[in-house]
Amino acid sequence: MMGIILLGPPGAGKGTQAKKLTQAFAIPQISTGDMLRAAVKAGTTLGKQAKAFMDAGGLVPDEVVIGIVKERLAEPDCGKGFILDGFPRTIPQAEALDRVTKELGKEIRFVLSLEVDQNDLMERLCGRRTCTGCGAMYHVKFNPPKAEGKCDKCGTALIQRDDDKEETITNRLANYNKATAPLLDYYRNTGKIRSVMASGEIDAIYAAIVKILR
Ligand code: ADP
Ligand code: ADP
Ligand code: ZN
């Protein structure tokens, strides 16, 4: 069971690395951010609950996020493993994940801690561009698409996420330090944490992760 948690601040490269891993290991990426954005777009009850928190760069309440992850992990494609990207983000979420994995007979194998200099995160997030068609991520400077504003993989126009604005980013980084960074201590004694230096080339970071997993 290859259950993996990608832990790291907004902009650390969780989504970028998760997308590469999901292909190589044939296990799904479970991104709570992507699922919440899809719910907002579809205008569901869940989306309505989550929108204001997301717009402000705050965290969506634990019970809401825990509910969606619990349902998602029970789906058949998570049978061989899964990559959690952006969950857990609080201690109560980590505790809930422990309960849920146990109930479902699943196990977290590695907690990959993506470590990036705090000063780099703002630049990464301000320059991030996202494909609304296939979810691929780009960066105007560090990982530009071949044709400006267009996804290499599916040709859809790229957008800048509403919450990738300086003021909202500041809130998200503050929330990370307050609510999510303590998870490193939570997992410290489990023997599952692996530090990954996540500055530098995307492919070099990916290679370092694969080395840990194999
Ligand atoms: P990033 O890529 O910047 O880390 P995400 O796409 O993971 O951002 O999340 C976007 C927003 O969705 C967060 O700012 C937060 O409002 C909400 N969100 C995502 N995952 C969680 C979670 N596990 N707990 C609470 N809120 C979440
Ligand atoms: P997260 O999911 O952790 O918020 P993303 O994977 O969305 O992070 O990456 C944030 C931004 O930084 C994106 O624009 C992405 O293209 C870019 N990025 C990802 N990895 C790197 C890297 N190693 N060096 C420079 N930019 C990167
Ligand atoms: Zn695309």
The answer, yes or no, to whether any atom of ligand 2 lies below 6 A from the CB of 135, is no
The secondary structure of residue 21, as a DSSP letter, is H
User: Which residue among 20, 161, 192, 194 is the active-site one?
Assistant: 161
Q: How far apart are CA 87 and CA 194, in angstroms?
A: 17
Residue 189 is assigned to a structural domain of this protein:
yes
Has 172 been annotated as catalytic? yes
The answer, yes or no, to whether any atom of ligand 1 lies below 6 A from the CB of 36, is yes
Residue 32 is assigned to a structural domain of this protein:
yes
Residue 52 is assigned to a structural domain of this protein:
yes
Distance (angstroms) between ligand 2 centre and the Cα of 143 equals 8
Q: How far apart are CA 110 and CA 148, in angstroms?
A: 37
Closest approach atom of ligand 1 to CA 34: 6
Name the percent of the chain lying above pLDDT 70.
100
pTM over 0.95: yes
Confidence band of 204 (pLDDT split at 50, 70, 90): very high
Q: So what's the pLDDT on residue 190?
A: 96
Order of strands, sheet of 81-85, starting from the edge strand that comes earlier in the sequence: 29-31, 81-85, 2-7, 108-115, 193-197
Average pLDDT, the chain: 97
Closest approach atom of ligand 2 to CA 129: 14
User: Which residue among 37, 72, 89, 124 is the active-site one?
Assistant: 89
Residue 14: domain span: 2-117+178-213
Has 124 been annotated as catalytic? no
Q: How far apart are CA 81 and CA 45, in angstroms?
A: 29
The answer, yes or no, to whether any atom of ligand 1 lies below 6 A from the CB of 13, is no
Neighbouring-strand partners of residue 213: none
Cβ–Cβ < 8 Å for 37, 154:
no
The answer, yes or no, to whether any atom of ligand 2 lies below 6 A from the CB of 15, is yes
Q: How many domains does the chain have?
A: 1
The answer, yes or no, to whether any atom of ligand 1 lies below 6 A from the CB of 196, is no
Distance (angstroms) between ligand 2 centre and the Cα of 161 equals 13
Residue 112 is assigned to a structural domain of this protein:
yes
CATH number at residue 192: 3.40.50.300
Q: What is the pLDDT of residues 104-145, one digit of tens each?
A: 999 999 999 999 998 899 999 999 999 989 999 999 999 999
Residue 127 is assigned to a structural domain of this protein:
no
- Tell me which residue has its CA closest to atom 15 in ligand 1: 59
The secondary structure of residue 87, as a DSSP letter, is -
Ligand 2 pocket: which of 5, 14, 16 to mutate (most atoms within 8 A of CB): 16
Residue 157 is assigned to a structural domain of this protein:
no
Q: What is the pLDDT of residues 155-197, one digit of tens each?
A: 999 999 999 999 999 999 999 999 999 999 999 999 999 999 9
Closest approach atom of ligand 1 to CA 125: 3
Residue 73 is assigned to a structural domain of this protein:
yes
Cβ–Cβ < 8 Å for 169, 126:
yes
Residue 197 is assigned to a structural domain of this protein:
yes
Q: What is the pLDDT of residues 23-81, one digit of tens each?
A: 999 999 999 999 999 999 999 999 999 999 999 999 999 999 999 999 999 999 999 99
